[in-house]
Amino acid sequence: MYLSVVMPVRNEAEHIAASLDRLLAQRYESGKLEILIVDGMSEDATPKIVQEYVQKHPDIIRYFANPKWLSSAARNVAIQNAKGEAILIVDGHCFPDNENMLQCVDEAFAKSGADCLGRPIVMHEMKGAPLTQWAIATVRESPLGHHPDSFMYSHQAQFSPASSTAIAYRMSIFEKVGLFDETFDAAEDVEMNTRIDAAGLTCYFDPAIVIRYEPRKTWSGIRAQMGRYGRGRVQLWRKHPHTASWKSFAPGVFFFGLGVIFLCGTLEFALNGFAFRLPPFTSSIFFSILGFYFAVLVAESARLAYKQKRWDIFPLLPLAFFCVHEGYAHGILREFFFPKRVSRD
């Protein structure tokens, strides 16, 4: 089939060339592939790098500006300009795993007859990467660092809910369910896929469609990323109430509960000092819960370090887990109590 690869990007100068090189190296029928790069007003060298590729490959690569910045808007720009029978979304910091990945997309659509396709995601080869990035990558591949119901790390071909993994879509889907919701700053893909499931359309998960992903390199980077995901999850719940689950909101509830217990313990401590002289019961609960939480993190960190034979990252893994959980919880609580308004204009 004629395939349109969609790349929503913003400030991806570090990775965009490598990603495009991998795509251009794909073994796919000549004349049946286009790459649409939609740039969200990048402030680095991304536009310059992309324009160089456009000049070298004008028959394959097309460039569009996205003044709305958001990935949801970028995807819609691409859909409205795509020539393909289907689109495949590949972010600017993602890389095809092999030279036949696009052919696998074509074959998966043909053999399954599905309306959309899901695929696994694995972390990019990180030879010489800093220990912090290794720790973040390791944690994100753990059930404790990613939604445990996700098919993203599955290795079995099967029909699955689109909400978990869909990333390639027949163009006919958008006539049935509409475009991406541009009020979403994150989780716009999950929201679209939720509508696909609600419409009774089918999704086929194929582990042969492998994408490698460049993980965040810093604690602040992963925390910010997870904060956006947390906000997106609350936005999703507001629009589609049936998507709520304890697994989706557990970090937010946990840290909110810890905060309430901490405040109660502080009050109790003050009362002990000046009035009632009660035992510090609330404080004991707080430190018991916190101690159990970190014990779980250390146990899972030890398992992951042993599995990878990388004991040098073991001391960093609990901190990586904490950044993932706290960042996600912070996003959930901020969006719940202080909703972020995103204009469509």
pLDDT tens string 10-58? 999 999 999 999 999 999 988 999 999 999 999 999 999 999 999 999 9
Q: Is the pLDDT reported for residue 285 higher than 90?
A: no
At 125 the pLDDT is 57
DSSP string, 250-292: HHHHHHHHHHHHHHHHHHHHHHHHHT-----HHHHHHHHHHHH
Count CB neighbours of 169 within 10 A. 28
Higher pLDDT, 282 or 93: 93
- How large is the average pLDDT for residues 189-194? 94
Q: How confident is the model at residue 344 (pLDDT cuts 50, 70, 90)?
A: very low
In DSSP notation, 30-55 reads TTSEEEEEEE---SSSHHHHHHHHHH
Q: Does the domain made of 3-120+155-217 have the CATH classification 3.90.550.10?
A: yes
State how far the Cα of 130 lies from the Cα of 282, in Å rounded to an integer: 40
* Average confidence (pLDDT) over 52-78: 95
Q: Is the pLDDT of residue 163 over 90?
A: no
For the segment 88-113, what is each residue's pLDDT rounded down to a tens digit?
999 888 888 889 999 999 999 999 99
pTM for the model: 0.87
Q: Identify which of 130, 103, 114, 73 has the alpha carbon closest to the alpha carbon of residue 5.
A: 103
Please provide the size of the chain in residues: 345
Would you tell me how many other CB atoms lie within 10 Å of the CB of residue 191?
22
* C-alpha atoms less than 13 angstroms from C-alpha of 42 in its C-beta half-sphere: 24
Instruction: Return the domain boundaries, the chain.
Output: 3-120+155-217, 243-337
220: exposed, middle or buried (Cβ count in 10 Å: 0-12, 13-18, 19+): exposed
Q: Where are the alpha helices (DSSP H) in 9-100?
A: 16-24, 46-56, 71-81
User: Residue 271 — pLDDT band, cuts 50, 70, 90?
Assistant: low
pLDDT at 278: 47
The candidate with the shortest Cα–Cα distance to 102, out of 157, 37, 22, 174, is: 22
The whole-angstrom separation of Cα 230 and Cα 216 is 17
- Give the pLDDT score at 127: 65
Report how far residue 219's alpha carbon sits from residue 190's, in angstroms, rounded to the nearest whole number: 25
